[in-house]
Amino acid sequence: NQSFEGPLLDSIGPERVSIRKVLVRTMENTFQSHDEEGNTLHGGDDFYTALLQALPDAARRKLGHEIGQGIQLRQTLQNAPLTHAA
């Protein structure tokens, strides 16, 4: 549906939380971050920038990135090896 009212494709974290954000992929193949009421937090961006827009300030600071550093976040994630459970 490519809108806030569309079907939920995936989620991360517990269902009941005090802060809920939603990323929506648009028809223009960009992503928009929304709050729990459906208000757009920012215009269309790449996935990583939209993700930074959706994160609470404390979580974003913990990652070491600021809003608008989507390229740097992508590079950080690409350079972080995943560990495998034994």
Q: What's the pLDDT score for residue 86?
A: 58
> 80 vs 2, which has greater pLDDT?
80
Pick from 71, 65, 27, 12: nearest CA to 47: 71
pLDDT of residue 13: 82
pTM over 0.75: yes
pLDDT at residue 64 above 80? Answer: yes
Residue 73 — pLDDT band, cuts 50, 70, 90? Answer: very high
pLDDT, tens digit, 9 for 90 and up, residues 16-25: 888 889 999 9
Residue with tokens 């996935």: 47
Domain extents in the chain: 22-79
Q: What is the mean pLDDT of residues 54-65?
A: 90
pLDDT(60) > 80: yes
Collect all residues with Cβ–Cβ distance below 8 Å to 35 and sequence separation of at least 6: 20, 21, 22, 41
